[in-house]
């Protein structure tokens, strides 16, 4: 089975249990594990944008001394003002 199918199956198994932040981090971990071309492979397998996966990679690169992401410090998944208007 190719990497795209494996990643797609993993995502289907987890997607209903993850919020946006954890989906982004999971996708980043998968992309990093694949190495060169991993971001594109994961993006096409699960339908996330490459920008979202790169954001997850930046978050993974943060050291614990950098603190949690801004949204987590606010008790939110999304930063204030981000997302669809109500």
Structural domain boundaries in the chain: 3-73
Question: For residue 74, what pLDDT is reported?
Answer: 46
Half-sphere exposure of 23 (CA within 13 A, CB side): 20
DSSP character at residue 75: T
Q: Which residues of the chain have pLDDT under 70?
A: 63-80, 85-86
Among candidate residues 22, 60, 53, 47, the one with its CA nearest the CA of residue 14? 22
Cα–Cα dist 49/77, whole Å: 18
Cα angle 11-54-13, degrees, rounded to a multiple of 5: 5
pTM reported for the whole predicted model? 0.74
């Amino acid at each position: 089975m190719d990497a795209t199918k494996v990643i797609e199956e993993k995502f289907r198994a987890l997607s209903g249990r993850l919020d946006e932040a954890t989906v982004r981090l999971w996708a980043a971990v998968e992309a990093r594990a694949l190495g060169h071309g991993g971001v594109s492979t994961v993006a096409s397998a699960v339908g996330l944008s490459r920008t979202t996966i790169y954001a997850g990679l930046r978050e993974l690169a943060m050291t614990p001394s950098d603190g949690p992401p801004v949204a987590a410090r606010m008790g939110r998944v999304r930063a204030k003002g981000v997302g669809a208007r109500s």
